[in-house]
Amino acid sequence: MIETPRSQYGQIAELIRGRIQDGTYPAGSLLPSEDRLAEELRVSRVTVNRAVGLLRSSGDVKVRRGTGTVVRSLPRIHRDAQARYAARQEGSGAGEVEVGKLSLKSRTEYRQIGRTTTPPAVAQTLGLRKGEASLLRSRVLYANDEPTQIADSYLPWSITKDCKPLMQADAGKGGSYGRLAELGHGPVRFTEDVSIRMPSEKEQRTLDLDASQPVFEIWHVAYTAEDRPIEVCIHVMPGHVWTLRYGWDDQPASTGR
């Protein structure tokens, strides 16, 4: 069963992943113990442990203290950069819509809503003066009570300070973009810069990650019809939970003379 020229633990990780995909080990179920797998596959327990380590890094399994190694229960969530904002009127925010389409229970936990000192990089993007305040709406999003992302939105305080719905967790149908539109600053254009990095210790705790699991960091910037940047939202998302999709129309190259 195990091919000797290849690393044993890599082959075992592939074998277990195959069993997860074909339903032998269903989502949310416990994996057999490392001792049992070692006996079945006729390898050492150390080899099985290294294989499970690979599966933990890829997000296929998670170790729960006092329980054992559990198969990932959440399906991959698809984040369509173009469609997600067009569909936000279906719920209070785009993240809620994405999770709802998978028949998962959505929940948003706000960590902070209020005036804050704007981080320098955010202030530069928003075109704010040094020391100028912004409204921070900092939240953690969940699907079936599992954390799926951290999202910190910064909005110019000068525009939002008198908007009571934006000071509340539930900003109403259409979310914060709906309220910005009512203020005359509705977003019509967006840009996103995506990078991949390892999570900080705080992010590991918040998102329930192993230190070896990378995250997407997405800098999302929304612009008004006057091309004014009106929001910076920094998303931190576990790489094994999300698939990012970007679509665009073909633009023929200019044939300038």
Cα Rg, the chain, nearest whole Å = 22
Same domain, 51 and 178: no
Q: What angle do CA 124, 141, 54 make, to 5 degrees?
A: 100
Q: Which of 42, 71, 100 is the last residue of a domain?
A: 71
Q: What is the pLDDT of residue 254?
A: 65
Same domain, 17 and 89: no
CATH code for the domain of 198: 3.40.1410.10
Q: Which of 71, 101, 117 is the last residue of a domain?
A: 71
**Does residue 3 lie within any of the structural domains?**
no
Q: What is the pLDDT of residue 100?
A: 78
Strand partners, 217: 195, 236
Q: Which of 32, 52, 71 is the last residue of a domain?
A: 71
Same domain, 29 and 102: no
Q: What is the pLDDT of residue 92?
A: 55
* Main-chain dihedrals φ then ψ at residue 190, nearest 5 degrees: -140, 150
Spatial CB neighbours of 170, under 8 Å, sequence gap ≥ 6: 92
Per the structure, the count of domains in the chain is 2
Q: How does pLDDT run along the chain (257 residues), one tens digit per residue?
A: 555 567 899 999 999 999 999 999 999 999 999 999 999 999 999 999 999 999 999 999 998 888 899 999 888 898 887 777 665 555 556 777 788 778 889 999 999 999 999 999 999 999 999 999 999 999 999 999 999 999 999 999 999 999 999 999 999 888 899 999 999 999 999 999 999 999 999 999 999 999 899 999 999 999 999 999 999 999 999 999 999 998 888 877 766 55
Same domain, 17 and 138: no
**Does residue 1 lie within any of the structural domains?**
no
Q: What is the pLDDT of residue 87?
A: 59
Same domain, 151 and 237: yes
Q: What is the pLDDT of residue 52?
A: 95
**Does residue 133 lie within any of the structural domains?**
yes
**Does residue 164 lie within any of the structural domains?**
yes
State whether the Cα torsion 162-166-169-174 is positive or negative. Answer: positive
Structural domain of residue 53, as residue ranges?
A: 8-71
Q: What is the pLDDT of residue 252?
A: 75
Q: What is the pLDDT of residue 93?
A: 67
Same domain, 109 and 13: no
Same domain, 39 and 96: no
Same domain, 150 and 180: yes
